[in-house]
Amino acid sequence: MGDLPPDLDRLRTLETWLALSLRRVREEIAAAEHPVEPWRAPRKPAAARAAVPRREPTPDWGISSAGIGAPVAEIHRGDCFAGGAMQPLSAERARAELADGVQACGVCRPDRVLNRT
């Protein structure tokens, strides 16, 4: 077959390209054979869904512990960027901590919301 490259490297490259092209064609055939309703988005395979790590929900309130770079503990809103690693707190617990003298974050100011009641 005179129309193929003579060396192994180019033959392997051609083989890879053909395999990828064949896979794309087969995917298009499968999509044409089983059309998806426009209101339903295609689902990822179960293996792909399982590979995505689940994130914990963002707490409403949190306390950052005192340590390196943080001289004192502070109460934060759960979405505060200044909070760093926080322990989640309920609103009642956050109010109690503020009443016991734990500082409120100067960025997110949780004391303004928690002390309204």
The pLDDT score that the predictor gives to residue 51 is: 64
Q: Please report, for residues 5, 7, 58, 76, 103, the alpha-carbon distance to residue 95 in angstroms, rounded to integers and kept in the order given.
A: 76, 75, 18, 11, 11
Quick one: average pLDDT of 56-66? 81
The pLDDT score that the predictor gives to residue 21 is: 92
Question: What is the spatial distance between Cα 97 and Cα 75, in angstroms, rounded to a whole number?
Answer: 8
Prediction pTM value:
0.49
pLDDT of 52 above 80 = no
Kindly indicate the confidence band of residue 24, based on its pLDDT and cuts at 50, 70 and 90: very high
72-104 per-position pLDDT tens digit: 889 999 888 887 788 898 999 999 999 999 999
The pLDDT score that the predictor gives to residue 76 is: 92
- Say if CB 63 and CB 76 are below 8 A apart: yes
The pLDDT score that the predictor gives to residue 80 is: 87
Domain locations in the chain as residue ranges: 8-51, 61-114
The pLDDT score that the predictor gives to residue 25 is: 93
Quick one: average pLDDT of 34-46? 66
Q: Please report, for residues 59, 72, 81, 100, 117, the alpha-carbon distance to residue 88 in angstroms, rounded to integers and kept in the order given.
A: 6, 17, 14, 17, 20
